[in-house]
A and B are shown apart, each in its own frame.
Chain A
């Protein structure tokens, strides 16, 4: 029974090819879905459309007159291109962490480790760091220039692989453990990875086994505390378009491009068989296992896929900044991303995106601005910007107490979090038992909140059939109570 349903839902086969055709179908079906969304959730769709248009046009508006106005007429806390680019970078990270923590319910407190791995991947593959070799391929430097220089477009998939692999390597021994152990092990991992990058700057070792003898003296593997610089900026081959801090709003759109791909990918994952398995595990691991979900493999996949998003974010960050050092990757960054996810609405892609944009703005533009204003008026007053984390801490506590589902909640997740009393939990257990597995799966699809991209899983040809198969509204309502 279950397998049959899954087959229906997964008509594109596996692997990258399957996924690509899937994405193609998604994009093809966009206009129709958008029209449908507009009629069903009119207000929300209009609001989100306005927000998206604002975000897309903001860098241009900013360049045309906003920045000028702020400089000459009245100082406004406007995020500049760098900060908007970082909104995109943190958006990608938040979406990735949402897969781990939101979809699969695994708490990762060391997410910054994968961010660092992505950044160092870019640093190793597009900088003069390995100056004893010279590999230049489609890069923005002269042939024969020392170091490995690969284009950003090749680095991103490599960063995905590297971060994903490390995610799996870390997950393999630890995912068997209970959730809390996982939290502490990931926290440790997040602390260690930057330390390793920092320490491996002066490696001396001797290894000899019979005829094989490896001898390294003072090998600088990672650049140590100085980090690695300069890292080649992302660049569009055969054009003059370079995406670095000096090229205005170009990097913002590069970030947006990667973010949109991340969103599409995450949406598809959520709706796929694996996405439903994650939700099953999150709600009740034991029950999920009974239903035939391979929990270890499923969790491992969540971990690896989530990590790979941070890999993308990291490689973009390093390429954009043009330098990387282990100083950039601290526990507070992990927590900041976690707060973005929780504030926005854990489990809901649009929610966490909103959280990422809002908190990046608060951390990098708004609070420094307020700090500046305060320092001008009362120089002896402590800079309010440095109590950021007091505010963030209070937000975490208050959110858990009063609105644990976040500002843009995922409805299924909200129901789960709202079940605070024992009676509720029991009622919910009964209900879950009552709802048959297939209906459960369908319900989870039907009640998805986001805009435009909703319900795009099935291809155009099957859209109708799938629409028929969708769970009746009654189940949807029943689950919401």
Chain B
């Protein structure tokens, strides 16, 4: 009916290029021609303050990671000066009790709106969960507010991957036709792919792939299954890709028996810690004491190991970027200092990326030197060879980090696991 309102969605891909300047995004500076309508007159109202928001789940099992993220963001940004402006940082919580302490769509949207409606907000750091990012990106897109995530790994937020993302992604998230979202971590498809490569180099040919039936776990497990098939392996799961286990089940012995009967020589598990992983690992180990288990970074945390105990020993773990202990240069200094400051505790895996995301924002703010959202957005999207504690960061036109690596670990008999190998990060 209303032709005037025609599909921002369908046209988005084309506009992206003109808005952000293709492979060298927005390098041409604030020319009025390239400036999206949503970004016109987005200057802050305060002459002394710049606001930066973060939206992360601050309850339940998530706190192990997010507490350290917030700490790092504060460290990099809070109270710092950009010209005449002082950066004020707001730590928002996107989880709610109504959702069992996990991210809540309502709260995420309320947070995004709060930042969008604050004229002095210049950047939004988050989210932790890719599902929440889906809701926040379009709101911030309409408000010309840049979003930098330290943790979203679902590929469909920035690019289309056949067999993993849905049709229409990622353009559906950018209703105004330009990109305002960047991430400093690699995507699930790269991690799954590296896992498949690693499995092959370990001599595995028959994999049983399981997932926790959630966005992250399923995306990762499917990526692994696709990658594993590509390198010549066989996936034994019932539907040929990845089979979901029920995180609310009380027992997985029968599932383990099924896997054993299928004759798998390895099991790949895409899951996050909170999805009953303790029981799953124990039941698998009890049925098959010697089988190879590989999993992604959703379980790369101490609370996972506390939950699985010795059943987690010898598990192969991949991490979707450079692991904290493998960082070099500034990163190494940062890692040592972090441990010293925290009584010997190693940082959680995403901690460095909280710092890196904040650094990307900090760099863009100083380069922009003003409180104009569009200037900040352009400078974030144009991040190139920026030195961060997580290594040098260069963003491509999609807002994805280029290069980088996937780190491979194996649990020995205690936490943290032992570093094994570094894979180049490449998508499916």
Q: Which residues of A contact B (CB under 8 A)?
A: 67, 71-72, 80-83, 86, 128, 131, 136, 138-143, 145-146, 191, 195, 198-199, 202, 204, 218, 223-227, 229-230, 237, 240, 245-246, 321-323, 325, 327-328, 330, 332-333, 336, 363-365, 367-368, 371-372, 375-376, 379, 383, 385-386, 388-389, 392
Given A82-B106, A386-B60, also A327-B131 (CB < 8 A): yes
Q: Are the C-beta atoms of B167 and A368 separated by less than 8 Å? A: no
Q: Which of B287-302 contact A (CB under 8 A)?
A: none
**A195 vs B246: C-alpha distance when bound (angstroms):** 9
Partner of A246, one of B139, B218, B239, B244: B139
In the complex, the answer to whether B93 meets A321 with C-beta atoms within 8 Å is no
- Known A371-B93, A386-B101: A245·B166 in contact at CB below 8 Å: no
Interface residue from A191, A224, A245, A385 paired with B113 (Cβ < 8 Å)? A245
Looking at A141, A245, A364, A372, the one whose CB has the most chain B CB atoms below 10 A away is A245
**Please, which residues of chain B bring their CB within 8 A of the CB of A327?**
99, 102, 131, 214
Q: B120-135: contact bitstring with A at CB < 8 Å (1 yes, 0 no)?
A: 0000000000010011
Residue of A nearest to B218 (CB): A225
Residues of B contacting A204 in the complex (Cβ-Cβ under 8 angstroms): 239
- Whether, in the assembled complex, B117 has its beta carbon less than 8 Å from a beta carbon of chain A, the answer is yes
B92 contacts chain A at the CB level, 8 A cutoff: yes
- What are the nearest 3 A-B pairs in CB distance? A388-B97, A386-B59, A82-B110
- Give every chain B residue within 8 A of A199 (Cβ-Cβ): 213, 244
B202 within 8 A of A: no
Within 8 A of A (CB), among B158-196: 166-168, 172-173
Say how far B134's CB is from chain A's closest CB, in angstroms: 6
| Contact segment of B2-10, B314-322, B377-385, B393-401 | B2-10
29 contacts between A and B (CB under 8 A): A80-B113, A80-B114, A82-B106, A128-B172, A139-B1, A141-B9, A145-B10, A146-B168, A191-B248, A204-B239, A218-B239, A226-B156, A245-B109, A245-B139, A246-B143, A322-B138, A325-B131, A327-B102, A328-B105, A330-B99, A332-B99, A336-B97, A336-B98, A364-B98, A364-B106, A364-B110, A372-B91, A376-B91, A388-B97
- Once the chains are docked, how many angstroms separate the CA of A230 from the CA of B244? 25
Q: For the complex, give the distance between the alpha carbons of A322 and B116 in Å.
A: 17
Report the bound CA distance from A332 to B3 in whole Å. 43
Mask: chain B, 1-36; 1 = CB below 8 Å from A; 0 = not: 111011101100000000000000000000000000
Q: Write the nearest CB–CB distance from B225 to chain A, whole angstroms.
A: 12
CA–CA, A237 to B59, complex, Å?
A: 41
Q: Is B58 an interface position by the 8 A CB rule?
A: yes
> A245 with B58: in contact, given A327-B99, A330-B100 (CB under 8 Å)?
no
Specify which chain B residues have a CB less than 8 angstroms from the CB of A141 in the assembled complex.
Answer: 5-7, 9
- With A71-B118, A198-B213, A386-B101 known, 18 other A-B pairs at CB within 8 A are A80-B117, A128-B168, A131-B167, A141-B7, A145-B9, A146-B167, A204-B239, A226-B166, A245-B112, A246-B113, A321-B105, A328-B104, A364-B104, A371-B58, A385-B96, A386-B59, A388-B97, A389-B97
Contacts A330-B99, A368-B96, A379-B67; A246 near B106 (Cβ below 8 A): no
**Contact between B100 and A230, CB atoms less than 8 A apart:** no
Residues of chain A lying within 8 A (CB to CB) of residue B168: 128, 131, 146
Inter-chain contact B213/A140, CB cutoff 8 Å: no
Q: How far is the CA of A332 from the CA of B104 in the complex (A)?
A: 12
State A364–B107 Cα separation when bound (angstroms). Answer: 6
Q: Which residues of chain B (367-420) have a CB below 8 Å from chain A?
A: none
List of A residues within 8 angstroms of B5 by Cβ? 140-142, 240
B366 at the interface (CB under 8 A from A): no
Quick one: closest A residue to B112, CB to CB?
Answer: A245
Asked if B76 CB lies within 8 Å of chain A CBs, one says no
- Contact for A230 among B138, B143, B246, CB less than 8 A: B138
Tell me if B10 and A321 are in contact (CB < 8 A).
no
Binding site for A on B (CB under 8 A): 1-3, 5-7, 9-10, 46, 58-60, 63, 67, 70-71, 91-93, 95-102, 104-107, 109-110, 112-114, 116-118, 131, 134-135, 138-139, 142-143, 156, 166-168, 172-173, 213-215, 217-218, 239, 241, 244, 246, 248
Q: Are A383 and B91 in contact (CB under 8 A)?
A: no
Question: Cβ of B95: which chain A residues have Cβ within 8 Å of it?
Answer: 385-386
CB distance from A427 to the nearest CB of B (A): 41
CB distance B97 to A202 under 8 Å? no
Given the complex of chains A and B, what is the CA–CA distance between A261 and B248 in angstroms?
38
Which residues of chain A come closer than 8 Å to B100, judged between CB atoms? 330, 332
- Chain A residues with CB below 8 A from B139, complex form: 245-246
Return the chain B residue nearest A195 by Cβ.
Answer: B246
Chain A contacts of B109 at CB under 8 A? 82, 245, 321
With A128-B168, A145-B10 as known contacts, state yes or no: A225 contacts B63, CB within 8 Å.
no
What residues on A are CB-neighbors of B58 within 8 Å?
Answer: 371, 375, 383, 385
The residue on B at minimum CB distance from A75 is: B90
Q: How far is the CB of B348 from chain A (nearest CB, A)?
A: 15
B106 / chain A contacts, CB cutoff of 8 Å: 82-83, 86, 321, 364
Which residues of chain A are near B213, meaning CB under 8 Å? 198-199, 224-225
- Asked if residues B93 and A383 are in contact (CB atoms below 8 Å), the reply is yes
Cβ–Cβ < 8 Å partners of A392 in chain B: 97
A237: chain B residues at CB < 8 Å are 1
User: Which residues of A are found within 8 Å of B101, using beta-carbon distances?
Assistant: 386
A246 to B93, Cβ gap below 8 A?
no
Which one of B70, B96, B101, B139 has the greatest number of beta carbons of chain A within 10 Å? B96
What is the CB-to-nearest-CB distance from A322 to chain B, in angstroms, rounded to a whole number?
7
Residue of B nearest to A220 (CB): B166
How far apart are B109's CB and chain A's nearest CB, in angstroms? 5
CB pair B105–A323 under 8 Å, yes or no, is yes
With a CB–CB cut-off of 8 A, which chain A residues contact B138? 230, 245-246, 322
Contact of A83 among B7, B102, B110 (CB under 8 A): B110
Contact for B3 among A71, A82, A142, CB less than 8 A: A142
Q: How far apart are the CA atoms of A245 and B1 in the complex, in Å?
A: 23
Contact A368 B107 (CB under 8 A): yes
Closest Cβ–Cβ distance, residue B315 to chain A (whole Å): 23
Q: How far is the CA of A375 from the CA of B213 in the complex (A)?
A: 32
> In the bound complex, do residue B134 and residue A128 qualify as a contact, i.e. CB atoms below 8 Å apart?
no
Q: How far is the CA of A72 from the CA of B47 in the complex (A)?
A: 13
With A139-B1, A142-B6, A246-B116 known to touch, is A321 a contact of B135 (CB < 8 Å)?
yes
Bound-state Cα–Cα, A240 to B116, Å: 21
Contact between chains at B97 and A367 (CB < 8 Å) = yes
Contacting residues, chain A, for B60 (C-beta < 8 A): 386
A138, B1: Cβ atoms under 8 Å? yes
Q: Evaluate whether A142 and B110 lie within 8 angstroms (CB atoms) in the complex, with A321-B135, A363-B98 already known.
A: no
B395 to chain A, nearest CB (A): 24
Name the CB-closest residue of A to B1: A138
Partner of A225, one of B104, B105, B214: B214
Q: Using Cβ atoms and an 8 Å threshold, which residues of chain A touch B134?
A: 229, 323
Query: Which residues of B sit under 8 angstroms from A198, Cβ to Cβ?
Result: 213
C-alpha spacing A33/B371, complex, angstroms? 55
Distance to closest chain B CB from A122 (angstroms)? 14
* In contact, B1 and A128 (Cβ under 8 angstroms): no
Q: Provide the residues of chain B in CB contact with A365, threshold 8 Å.
A: 110
**Nearest-neighbor residue (CB-CB) of B172 within chain A:** A230
For residue B295, give the distance in angstroms from its CB to the closest CB of chain A. 17
CA of A225 to CA of B216 in the docked complex: distance in angstroms?
9
Residues of B within 8 A of A330 (CB): 98-100
User: Does A372 contact B93, Cβ atoms closer than 8 Å?
Assistant: yes
Please give me the residue from chain A that is nearest to B154 by CB atom: A226
Knowing A142-B3, A371-B58 are in contact, say whether A225-B215 is a contact too (CB < 8 A): yes
